[in-house]
Amino acid sequence: MSVRIAIIGGTGVYDPAILEDVREERLSTPFGSARVKIGTYKGKAVAFMARHGEDHSVPPHLVNYRANIWGLRLLGVKSILATAAVGSLNVQMKPRQFVFVDQFLDFTKSRPQTFVEKGVVHLDMTDPYCPELRRVLASAAEELGLEHHTRGTYVCTEGPRFETPAEIRMFRHLGGDLVGMTSVPEVVLAREAGICYATVAMVTNYAAGIAQGRLSHQEVVDVMAENAANLRRLLMRAVEMLDVERTCLCHATPLDPSAVP
């Protein structure tokens, strides 16, 4: 059975228990190895990848994004649903709500951003997050009665530290709605690999300077745990709704295999 759908679990999402007949594979790529668990849900093969490792041991700036996405490409994946715990810069986007982001602002500093190491490829990113996957997620959330927003701008920072209040004021001025540490380069690499990609962002807190008091990673983990059941319901309903053989403009990648080492 071909694997066309993948879930990338972020903070608080480490366990593929929603899947049946799970097996683990280690995928060898030109960028290192990647671990993935493959199972089925209602007859559909689904790959599950824990972005930070099952014990949350890999910080956001050291995740091997290229190996992860290339590994999913090797499996034949065509649709990625990626979860992300985010802080909110927009008071309308409240803790425990879901946001299906449509744009990003990149403030990362040291991460490889592309598979391309030979030649020149200028990648179109007009719609970085697949509009079709976002519509599926919105339909699933509506059906399940989950509070959600159908668009928002994700500010990706380098981490692993949280942002300063001054940075948050700047991000708000630039039009940012949410802040996190993982969406870039993951979304860019998925587009290079010809894979549809959508982020299921769950607001866990308000960002520095908006929140009352100091921020902590434990607060993020606690809110993710509280809302884990809703997140599972959302993901699995979206998987049910996805046509595994669907085609999309996201699949028309300009990536030339000869550009990859």
* pLDDT in the model for residue 7: 96
Which tokens in the block code for residue 221?
């983990």
* pLDDT in the model for residue 216: 64
Mean pLDDT by 10 residues, the chain (261 residues): 87 65 93 94 93 82 96 96 95 95 97 88 92 98 98 97 94 98 97 96 88 66 77 93 93 74 72
Scanning the structure block, which residue is given the tokens 């099952």? 54
Scanning the structure block, which residue is given the tokens 């996405």? 69
CATH 3.40.50.1580 fits 5-247, yes or no: yes
- Residue 201: C-alpha distances to residues 84, 162, 213 (Å): 5, 17, 23
Instruction: Give the closest residue to 176 by CA, choosing from 99, 244, 121.
Output: 99
Structural domain spans, the chain: 5-247
Scanning the structure block, which residue is given the tokens 């449509």? 102
* pLDDT in the model for residue 253: 75
Instruction: Give the closest residue to 105 by CA, choosing from 164, 177, 162, 165.
Output: 177
Q: Kindly write down the DSSP assignment for every residue of 50-99, as one continuous string.
A: ETTTTTT-S-GGG--HHHHHHHHHHHT--EEEEEEEEEESSTTS-TT-EE
> Is the CB of residue 211 less than 8 Å from the CB of residue 195?
no
Paired with 39 in beta bridges are 46
The Cβ of residue 150 has, within 10 Å, a number of other Cβ atoms equal to 15
